[in-house]
Structure 1
């Protein structure tokens, strides 16, 4: 049985970096890759957050609730954790076109909203509920979701928050999770983290 709490720190997916142009006197410098959240910009916690380096590639378990959403080639992500079993990840990708970025956001939103139902089908001993928490007004918009899970056999409960946002061709996904239920989740603070994540992509 997969423990959804432990999946938080391990999951993630990706940031598709722009290919640098060959250096020449007439070449235009490639745009800087999108920036990532710092540890202190995650929702407040009773113990400090630490952030791993930004890492190329896709984590083995992919993106929570949508493991195949991001391409493996050229991707980057950053994992976050605290001392109290709270974890998170940010994944960022630059799509080839704005239309493809829009399509990726739509795919992620559908996957996040249906995540609870799919978990219950795969794990009959788990009660899972997904909920939409509204749009964050930043750049082309960001959308916040939650996933509440309870394992009746083990007796543990876990709560996860997710967001997906876009700035032009750049899409970012942020995930937060810990033991507990929705009443324990810092939804308002997570929306602030989401706004910061999107604003930081291309300052």
Structure 2
């Protein structure tokens, strides 16, 4: 099994609800108007954790879910539409942001709760799906940004010694929920946790 296959097996998926149009009532005798709120903003390459030897580049924002996020989060996503942006370096380090908007704050809160639950249970599902992979999980706690965010670490190691480290976070601002993922070869000692927390805080603040 290749390192890239391990990461694809290990990582997570999501999908998201398209932004709902917001209708404004017009005064009596006036013509009613309907406007659509601007979609949430995404991280830029400069807002990713700094890489020691390679600059980040950002792809265009696309509809759908990045493959690297599918394994851990797929169960939470049916019925949602989403948009995402992927980031890459010249070396074996990558990142992605997945964002969606739902119909109410209550629905967004419920979705964020479900996504956090799926991330926490992902290590067990990884090991159940492939007996040659061991998965270890760390909870790096919450962040006081908008309606809150939570940061996690996920390390996998194959029976032949290939290791990958991923950082994942879930954050919410009103009806918008975002998931940020970062990954490369290595273990927990290679994870830029403080910088990733800063990136997550920025991602949630930028939603609206």
Larger radius of gyration: 2
- TM-score with structure 1 setting the length: 0.88
Please report the RMSD computed on the Cα atoms of aligned residues, expressed in angstroms: 2.4
Aligned to 2:194: 188
Equivalent residue in structure 2 for 1:118, among 121, 125, 142? 125
Aligned to 2:6: 4
Please report how far the alpha carbon of residue 95 of structure 1 lies from its aligned counterpart in structure 2 after TM superposition: 1.1
Q: Deviations over 1:159-190 (max 9, x none)?
A: 00000000011100000000000000000000
Q: Distance in 2 between matches of 1:44 and 1:61?
A: 21
Is the CA contact (8 Å cut-off) linking 2:8 and 2:67 kept in structure 1?
A: no
- TM-score with structure 2 setting the length: 0.86
Q: Mark the runs of 5 or more structure 2 residues left unpaired by the alignment.
A: none
Aligned to 1:165: 171
Is the CA contact (8 Å cut-off) linking 1:162 and 1:174 kept in structure 2?
A: yes
3-state DSSP of counterpart to 2:76: coil
Q: Mark the runs of 5 or more structure 1 residues left unpaired by the alignment.
A: none
Please report how far the alpha carbon of residue 68 of structure 1 lies from its aligned counterpart in structure 2 after TM superposition: 3.4
Q: Distance in 1 between matches of 2:87 and 2:146?
A: 24
1:101 aligns with 2:108: yes
Q: Deviations over 1:25-70 (max 9, x none)?
A: 5214211100000011111102011111000123456534112323
Q: 1:122 to 1:6 in 2, by over 3 A?
A: closer
Q: Distance in 2 between matches of 1:108 and 1:144?
A: 12
Q: Deviations over 1:79-104 (max 9, x none)?
A: 11111111111011111121111111
